[in-house]
Amino acid sequence: MNLFFREMKAARKSLILWCIGSFLMAASGMAKFEGLDSTGESLQQLVSTMPRSLQAVMGTGSLDLSTAVGYYGILFTYLLLMAAIHSLMLGAGIIAKEERGKTAEFLLSKPISRSRIMTAKLAAALVNVLIFNLVTFVFSVISVAKFAKTEDSISDLSLLMTGMFLVQLMFLAAGSGIAASGKKPKRAVSMGTALLLAAYILSIAIDLSQKLEFLQYLTPFKYFEAKRVLIDGGLDPVFILLSIGIVFILTIVAYISFNKRDIQV
């Protein structure tokens, strides 16, 4: 438990900064909605008949921009990106940090198994991710509710946030998996970032070209994207299973490789 609290404390400052970022995003993004609110429904209809590639370039997607939740969908893409970066940094940082700061020797010479260390660190990261998710949820509900006229936005938003949480878990697991199994933990953060940016770019590319649709399984950013979730009114079970599987496998990889790892000093 001491390790858990130590980790929580170490991450506190950055968590606060990330939450402020989420607040700014939610508040400022929704403020723009007022301006767009007046675009008539007929235009919305027109937009929905556009080919998907054009929708993507024009920045709307198939979201119904005349509703507050639909407009929030655009914002959600950025929030998802933020959440993913945050989780990845946490995941990659928990192991890389020790070797970088040469504190690995200190920690590992204590009477505590490596699995316990990993568990404590992952638990702390998980709580951080959860806090970020909840904070974002609260900010989102407040700012959407301010503009939503009639519709009930809470159910839609909680669906989106559940999706976001799964994406966070994937990147958290990916970060720790890379850091634990890579030869140089210092590189874990850059490798993870490269992976994340690649996944993000791929998700944009898929929007632009239907031919790439089959690649959507490769990028978590496509799993629970707003347009899919809001139109279906639920999370796709295939992607839920897929993400749980990914999280599971990567976490096991992280545990096993951390247990086998030669600690470098």
Partner 1 sequence: MNIFLHELKVYRKSTIVWTLSLAAVLVLFMSMFPGLTKDAADFQKLLQGYPEPVRKAFGISLESITSLLGFYSYVFSYIVLCGCIQAMNLGVSILSKEAREKTADFLLTKPVTRSQVVSAKLLAAISSLIMTNIIFLAAAAMTTLSVSQKPFDMGTFLMISLSAFLVECMFLALGVLVAAVMSIKSVLPISLGTVFAFYILNMLGSVIGEKAVRYLTPFKYYDTAYIIRHASYEPRFIFIEALFIVIAVSASYIIYSKKDIHAV
Q: State the Cα angle at 142 between 231 and 162, rounded to 5°.
A: 45
Q: What are phi and psi of 61, to 5 degrees?
A: 70, -170
Helix axes 114-147, 154-181, angle to 10 degrees: 150
Cβ neighbours of 14 (radius 10 Å): 14
Site for partner 1 in 59-78 (CB under 8 A): 75, 78
Which residue from 90, 33, 25, 93 is spatially nearest to 64, judged by alpha carbons? Answer: 33
Residues 6+ apart with CB under 8 A from 81: 200, 221
Q: Rule CB under 8 A: say whether 142 interacts with partner 1.
A: no
Cβ neighbours of 183 (radius 10 Å): 9
Least distance between partner 1 and beta carbon 36 (Å):
10
Cβ neighbours of 248 (radius 10 Å): 12
CA distance 262 to 265: 10
Least distance between partner 1 and beta carbon 25 (Å):
6
Q: Rule CB under 8 A: say whether 21 interacts with partner 1.
A: yes
> Is 8 or 208 the residue whose CB approaches partner 1 more closely?
208
- State the DSSP H helix or E strand holding residue 158, giving kind and residue range, or none if neither: helix 154-181
Interface stretch with partner 1, choices 2-10, 164-172, 206-214, 233-241 (CB under 8 A):
206-214
Quick note: the x/- pattern for partner 1 over 156-195, rule CB under 8 A, is: ---------------------------------xx--xx-
Least distance between partner 1 and beta carbon 214 (Å):
15
Q: Which of 10, 16, 31, 231 binds partner 1 (CB under 8 A)?
A: 31
Helix segments in 32-113, DSSP class H: 33-36, 41-49, 52-58, 68-100, 104-108
Q: Rule CB under 8 A: say whether 108 interacts with partner 1.
A: no
Least distance between partner 1 and beta carbon 92 (Å):
9
Residue 64, CA atoms < 13 Å, CB-side half-sphere: 11
Interface stretch with partner 1, choices 21-29, 122-130, 153-161, 168-176 (CB under 8 A):
21-29
Interface stretch with partner 1, choices 148-156, 196-204, 225-233, 241-249 (CB under 8 A):
196-204
Q: Which of 85, 141, 161, 179 binds partner 1 (CB under 8 A)?
A: 85
Which residue from 226, 224, 229, 227 is spatially nearest to 239, judged by alpha carbons? Answer: 224
Least distance between partner 1 and beta carbon 239 (Å):
24
Which residue from 76, 122, 59 is spatially nearest to 95, judged by alpha carbons? Answer: 122
Tokens of 147: 């503009």
Q: Which of 61, 93, 175, 177 binds partner 1 (CB under 8 A)?
A: 93
Q: Rule CB under 8 A: say whether 134 interacts with partner 1.
A: no
Binding site for partner 1 (CB under 8 A): 14, 17, 21, 24-25, 27-29, 31-32, 34-35, 42-43, 46, 49-51, 53-54, 57-58, 75, 78, 81-82, 85, 89, 93, 97, 100-101, 189-190, 193-194, 197, 201, 204-205, 208-209, 211
